[in-house]
Amino acid sequence: MKNNVLVVHGGGPTSVMNASLYGVLKEAERHSQIGAVYGAIGGVEGILKENLLNLSEFQGAKELLLHTPGSAIGSSRYPVTEEDYNKTPIILKKYNIKYILPNGGNGTMDTCGKIYKSCIEAGYTDIKVVGIPKTIDNDIAITDHTPGFGSAARYLAATVREVAEDVKSLPIHVCIIEALGRNAGWITAASVLARRKKGDAPHLIYTPERPFKEEEFLTDVKKLYDKLGGVVVVVSEGLKKEDGTPVVDPIYKTDRAVYYGDVSAHLANLVIKRLGIKARNEKPGLCGRASIAWQSPVDCQEAQLAGEKALEAAIKGHTGVMIGFKREKTEDGSYKIGIIEIPIEKVMLLEKTLPDEYINVRGNDITEEYIKWLQPLVGPKFEEFLDFKEYYKEKE
């Protein structure tokens, strides 16, 4: 009897989540001992409800996954109980699933570790559990970066560049753009790539790793407004005051998820009321998470690779690990990543935030070190697409 594979998606989708699923399907083709590749419809609940779709029956359409946003098999933030974990190995055994590959972020890796533990406790040591990393927030520990982040970073940088052109054309107000990322400022910081030269927007960048100081913010905005007329500010949804409380109270919270209030709207109102300057806010939100138009080709390739390597590792008998990326040194300094396997307990609900050296002293901008780290992830030809004049000259 051939061994079956199960892919489970968890948490918020990305523009390359399906590319990892494609990678699993491609890798499965290389191994004659693999039978069906199942997708759990709607995340972990799909396992518990035994709502499993045989993806091997759709091989002819699998290439479409590479450029399809969201999750082709659905995802969830289902709060898994101890009883659920006890049921899972029995269901996996029923469908002869020998390899289970949870694809997601911190919360999903926690689920991955607990499924691994439940299989061991049930005596089903032949079931191998390998995590596939995914999150636009880039906050999974150990790995250099995560699939989904590069595309979200590319989208935000492009959006800020476009907004900056608008504000520069009609320099009469302050525009505050709010970025996703929860407690980590990786995406917010990526807006720095919108600049072509010193002095370009974004003029101020605030990440959650540093306390947000309201008076300093207003001082900086006023100074820039008096000089430029139009100011672009990028802020994280997770900004916190000096006492550690959110700048804006969350509108909804669960054990794992936090739905933040409108930080950008709050700060725009602050500028209007305290400085008497016209201000507006923009909140791209899910647009950046789902954008295929700004999908990073590097991100897509690495997401596929993560899926391939996860199944390859499981087939080799590796279990209780997550696939991760590590940068390798090259003679010419070019970007190259290697695949590593990280013990799952080292990434379960552990959050990686933006290192201090990537943020300037005042806490309102991003350093050159971060730019160098980020640039390879957004993909080749990024600048030519953003540099409008040069791009259209080339086309002519």
Q: Which residues are catalytic?
A: 137
User: Does 12 appear as a known binding residue?
Assistant: yes
d(CA 316, CA 99): 11
Task: Determine the straight-line distance between the first and last CA of the chain, rounded to whole angstroms.
Answer: 59
Answer yes or no: are the C-beta atoms of 148 and 131 closer than 8 Å.
Answer: no
Enter the DSSP assignment of 352.
P
User: Does 55 appear as a known binding residue?
Assistant: no
d(CA 63, CA 60): 8
Answer yes or no: are the C-beta atoms of 353 and 185 closer than 8 Å.
Answer: yes
Q: Give, to the nearest 10 degrees, the angle between helix 214-228 and helix 263-270.
A: 70
User: Does 106 appear as a known binding residue?
Assistant: yes
CA 348 to chain centre: 16
User: Does 281 appear as a known binding residue?
Assistant: no
The upper half-sphere exposure of residue 42, i.e. CA atoms within 13 Å in the direction of its Cβ, equals: 9
> What token pair was written down for 105?
């972020």
Answer yes or no: are the C-beta atoms of 191 and 205 closer than 8 Å.
Answer: yes
User: Does 150 appear as a known binding residue?
Assistant: no
- For residue 41, what are the contacts with CB-CB under 8 A and spacing of at least 6? 51, 52, 53, 73, 74
Across the beta sheet with 174-179, the strand order is 204-206, 231-236, 174-179, 279-282
Answer yes or no: are the C-beta atoms of 102 and 109 closer than 8 Å.
Answer: yes
User: Does 4 appear as a known binding residue?
Assistant: no
> What token pair was written down for 55?
């993806």
254-259 contacts: CB < 8 A, separation 24 or more? 254/77, 254/79, 255/79, 256/77, 256/79, 256/107, 257/77, 258/182
* Three-class DSSP category at 340: strand
User: Does 220 appear as a known binding residue?
Assistant: no
User: Does 275 appear as a known binding residue?
Assistant: no
| Cis omega (within 30 of 0) for bond into 297 | no
User: Does 180 appear as a known binding residue?
Assistant: yes
Concatenated DSSP letters of 72-128: TT--------HHHHHHHHHHHHHTTEEEEEEEESHHHHHHHHHHHHHHHHTT-TT-E
Annotated binding site for substrate: 135-137, 180-182, 237
User: Which residues line the annotated binding site for diphosphate?
Assistant: 12
Which segments are annotated as binding site for Mg(2+)? 106
Residues making up the annotated binding site are 12, 106, 135-137, 180-182, 237
